[in-house]
Amino acid sequence: MGERILVTGGAGYIGSHACKALARQGHEPVTLDSLIHGHEDAVKWGPLVKADILDRDALDRCFREYRPDAVMHFAAFAYVGESVREPAKYYRNNVTGSLNLLEAMREHDCGRIIFSSTCSVYGSPNRLPLDETHYVAPINPYGASKLMIERIMSDFGAAYGLESVALRYFNAAGADPDGELGERHDPETHLIPLALGAAMDPARELTVFGTNHDTPDGTCVRDYVHVTDLAEAHALALDLLRREGGNHSLNLGCGNGYSVLEVIETAGRVAGKPVAWKAGPVREGDPSKLVADAALATRRLGWKPRYQNLELMIRHAGDWMRNHD
């Protein structure tokens, strides 16, 4: 039997894909989104509550009206560079907003949460691929804010019985293969849509942040995971809590590292046009390499990414961009 799931940030990139995955499993997603970065037309599978997680009264009204069985929490500011320049904004929204949400859950007897965390909690790793036993030492306020939320959830679990799964994403990529959803950030900072945009528009030039990293071609190496596979992992995490309860932290990635230049070359091949780029300075708070070991998610969730091919991820993203220009 389906459940009613409150999805904060459900009008955003990953949150909207999670809503689709929930609806496919017979659940009812209720989106709560401020629409600062989200898109109202991405809310297709359930009601929309226009509210901010910093507004505790709005959260209480939402819980009273919809009585959700569980929460998926995506609502957050997520620009690493901005978090270095404006840490107060990130700690206020991400940490204070999440604490508001957890307190509202406790008051309204909602005891399960799936949390959108990040590989940024690991900081600069001393070994790859990264598994969950690696130390956590974020090097930017964005990662620190996510790690603090993980800690709060763990403490709420010990004190109040909250059941939680923190899913530590690597780099979300691609778009819904059915063409219903895609990536629309403003400003856009993700490499794949920027590279495709530069290929589609000769007037655009992509900036590569750092060409002297300790990597084979000098550019950052990242692990890309398809957004539809991320969404599926959230639905499976809900099943895990239903079966076992507890508090869990799990990596989500494919285990393949691609450099910025490899992504640029692949995007050019998909678009059929070269991507113009220039070298820029290294971004603050940007590790050189991040590659996942997601074996624990495979064991605990039964999760296996279906769309592991980088070219396919970029093709899905390009199809979305061409149809929604």
Q: Would you give per-residue pLDDT tens digits along the chain (325 residues)?
A: 699 999 999 999 999 999 999 999 999 999 999 999 999 999 999 999 999 999 999 999 999 999 999 999 999 999 888 999 999 999 999 999 999 999 999 999 999 999 999 999 999 899 999 999 999 999 999 999 999 999 999 999 999 999 999 999 999 999 999 999 999 988 888 999 999 999 998 888 999 999 999 999 999 999 999 999 999 999 999 999 999 999 999 999 999 999 999 999 999 999 999 999 999 999 877 889 999 999 999 999 999 999 999 999 999 999 999 888 6
Angle at 6 between CA 5 and CA 11, to 5 degrees: 115
- Nearest-angstrom CA–CA distance, 23 and 18: 9
Under 8 Å between Cβ of 240 and 313:
no
Structural domain tally of the chain?
A: 1
In a domain, 309, yes or no: no
- Nearest-angstrom CA–CA distance, 43 and 23: 12
Return the closest-CA partner of residue 163 out of 242, 216, 231.
242
In a domain, 119, yes or no: yes
In a domain, 308, yes or no: no
In a domain, 233, yes or no: yes
- Nearest-angstrom CA–CA distance, 293 and 127: 11
Which residues are known catalytic residues? 142
In a domain, 294, yes or no: no
- Nearest-angstrom CA–CA distance, 168 and 123: 12
In a domain, 61, yes or no: yes
Question: Domain limits at 160?
Answer: 4-172+226-252
- Nearest-angstrom CA–CA distance, 242 and 238: 6
Residue 284 confidence (pLDDT):
77
Residue 231 confidence (pLDDT):
98
In a domain, 200, yes or no: no
Residue 1 confidence (pLDDT):
66
Residue 162 sits in a domain whose CATH number is 3.40.50.720
Residues 6+ apart with CB under 8 A from 246: 157, 163
Burial (Cβ within 10 Å: 0-12, 13-18, ≥19) of residue 40: exposed
In a domain, 189, yes or no: no
